[in-house]
Structure 1
């Protein structure tokens, strides 16, 4: 079957070349496309002489990188090249430059890219073509497009399903990928208990409030407070401070041993979709809790068979249950995020905490351990007289 098809194609090209020689016409219309740009060549006759006019359009060198210009380049490719040669390279180039145009989360643009593929040509005609991935290059290209949609959180619609059905048929791998996306993506879309606006806000102050509220939500009694560093008399900077502390953390801070220091550590990073926020924590060394002994009195698999030396089960000792803020690696007293993430804003935060019901901070030694430009910056302070040291 394959040899017969190849012979027919060979005879067709031989016949076509003979007709072109007889009519003195070129056998192919020179239209080409490469990965990063579109090149079209047209032969026009002006004043009896043929001139070759070449138009180059590139995603990377376009002057205006907007959604309209992006869609215009897709329309130019579809309308100029009837046979749509190099459509796979064109789609990969379009996917590569989507973020530069700000259309990487636009469903309409993804459907316009899928519409570039010819309809009906890639549909398998028998079971062998369906199982052995008919036109694998084109199918893998569309699968990569759907994966990029999934990574960017773009949920396809019913129109996308009909487009894939017309291009690859009901047994195509891109259509299977679409069905899996439509099953799982709606389940995970609104599953997070900390919803974040989509797209997230660009204001750092709003992002800091969302981040600190998310981290401190483990304790429902946590109070979110907004401070201004300019309210402190000796403050150098004028910025905002988003602080979070619960009554349980205040009690833990009052019960802390005065001889042991507490630490301000950071910055740590938390992500809100595509935005990140740096935050700091006020902590102490972890407490040592007694290990819980396993009660084996009701375990019949390890029963001690004895007649005369039977001993009653041991009584358990009473111990306080550690709170959610007393972890194995640290005891957390408060959290904060500042506008500048500098040592001066953190010192203003500690002074605000001291005024806001944490008077014990004036008697404790506070050690500021900050990460700055590859160095570990340490600030030791007792009360309101800090001493700065770089390690």
Structure 2
């Protein structure tokens, strides 16, 4: 009681000494009320700064860092945590900013980094105390922030662990929405992780040639006899480009090309794209129009009942049979595929060198068959709907 009277009577002296000890300018302090029974000290500064305090991690500090790696990213998180050990004001804005710059630091697939961001939130403050608070999303801003973080983990294929579950329980309790999101992730992500019969390595190389070999082998894997061959355009005379060509062709495809009618053209089409996780590879195909079925099969009508025979004594009716060649896996409804390839430049000159290489390596029929290049611009990841594809059709006959 005596201390309260002293503060009320000597508010000016107290404000001066207060500003001296916490290093706040005295002109920023004032008495907020003239009521002698309700006086308190107010400062216009948002925070107090001492000379010995640590550096404050601002929201935009991630953009100012020159050496962007995992160590500097985790150091920024530690600086923010050490600034305020209890309340950690501004934690939601900091986490959103940290999530936004994860790809720049190369940590968007690192579980330890996501765990450290969740650890930024203070513990025990956001736990719901009754069922109404739990169902009406107690502290919705903080819960939505962690939901966005978990969603980014799922988009990048990062599977959480048990330690993240313990952090979510300590922060939000056992009835919060982030914990429910975690449980759904732990149920579905292990199932989808092992559901792909053609798995792709988690850490893909940045070598474009190795990615092309992996993509072509993945596409042509339906035929176990397929052969993956690497060509060089400089081995062809009068070639303009100096790049590599990854070709895939099987003995079955060579025999189909030898049986092809020389009067019918074959087409080089592309560029098509295949994805290996977040990396894209463009490829091209050499195909012909689909082979028509035999004439006697087309003339037979299964619904014709004019010459139907009635079986007697449990005799089966005769079955009409036709001797035809069984279709291979390369003979599809839209055409017969003779070969596929990927080149380093995806240019017309590199594709022409590809045809020349095929002709020199067992595909002699290409010297008599007209080859039509039906090319289009390489597909982009994002394309406007009204944007039309630029197509270039050029007919070349290989000699």
What is the TM-score of this pair, normalised by structure 1? 0.79
Measure, in 2, the Cα distance between the counterparts of 1:94 and 1:18: 45
Q: Report the CA distance between 1:315 and its aligned residue.
A: 3.2
> Is the alpha carbon distance of 1:162 and 1:19 closer, same or farther for their aligned partners in structure 2, counting shifts above 3 Å?
farther
SS in 2 for 1:200: coil
Where does residue 337 of structure 1 map in the other structure?
A: 342
Gaps of 5+ in 2: 1-6, 19-40, 304-309, 379-388
Measure, in 1, the Cα distance between the counterparts of 2:10 and 2:116: 36
Match of 1:79 among 74, 78, 82: 82
Measure, in 2, the Cα distance between the counterparts of 1:237 and 1:152: 37
SS in 2 for 1:224: strand
Measure, in 2, the Cα distance between the counterparts of 1:339 and 1:322: 33
Match of 1:169 among 173, 178, 200: 173
Gaps of 5+ in 1: 1-16, 32-40, 47-52, 297-304, 385-391
Measure, in 1, the Cα distance between the counterparts of 2:97 and 2:239: 52
> Is the alpha carbon distance of 1:55 and 1:20 closer, same or farther for their aligned partners in structure 2, counting shifts above 3 Å?
farther
Q: Paired residues, what number?
A: 344
Where does residue 223 of structure 2 map in the other structure?
A: 219
Match of 1:321 among 313, 318, 326: 326
SS in 2 for 1:59: helix
1:1-391 maps to which residues of 2 (within 5 A)?
Answer: 23-24=14-15, 26-27=41-42, 30-31=45-46, 41-44=47-50, 58-81=61-84, 82-289=86-293, 315=320, 317-372=322-377, 375-384=390-399
Q: Report the CA distance between 1:264 and its aligned residue.
A: 0.6
Q: Report the CA distance between 1:318 and its aligned residue.
A: 4.7
Q: Report the CA distance between 1:337 and its aligned residue.
A: 0.6
SS in 2 for 1:58: helix
CA-to-aligned-CA distance 1:37-60 (integer Å, 9 cap, x gap): xxxx434489xxxxxx99856222
Q: Which segment is superposed worse, 62-71 or 255-264? A: 62-71
What value does the CA root-mean-square deviation take over the aligned residues?
3.3
Measure, in 2, the Cα distance between the counterparts of 1:262 and 1:239: 24
Q: Report the CA distance between 1:316 and its aligned residue.
A: 5.3
Measure, in 2, the Cα distance between the counterparts of 1:246 and 1:134: 62
> Is the alpha carbon distance of 1:106 and 1:246 closer, same or farther for their aligned partners in structure 2, counting shifts above 3 Å?
same
Is the CA contact (8 Å cut-off) linking 1:200 and 1:274 kept in structure 2?
no
Measure, in 2, the Cα distance between the counterparts of 1:159 and 1:354: 60
Q: Report the CA distance between 1:347 and its aligned residue.
A: 1.1
Measure, in 2, the Cα distance between the counterparts of 1:288 and 1:251: 18
Q: Which segment is superposed worse, 270-279 or 284-293? A: 284-293
Measure, in 2, the Cα distance between the counterparts of 1:146 and 1:84: 21
Where does residue 35 of structure 1 map in the other structure?
A: none
Q: Which segment is superposed worse, 364-373 or 354-363? A: 364-373
> Is the alpha carbon distance of 1:187 and 1:29 closer, same or farther for their aligned partners in structure 2, counting shifts above 3 Å?
farther
Measure, in 2, the Cα distance between the counterparts of 1:19 and 1:250: 103
Is the CA contact (8 Å cut-off) linking 1:42 and 1:54 kept in structure 2?
no
What is the TM-score of this pair, normalised by structure 2? 0.77
Measure, in 1, the Cα distance between the counterparts of 2:105 and 2:10: 44
Measure, in 1, the Cα distance between the counterparts of 2:300 and 2:42: 88
Measure, in 2, the Cα distance between the counterparts of 1:256 and 1:19: 107
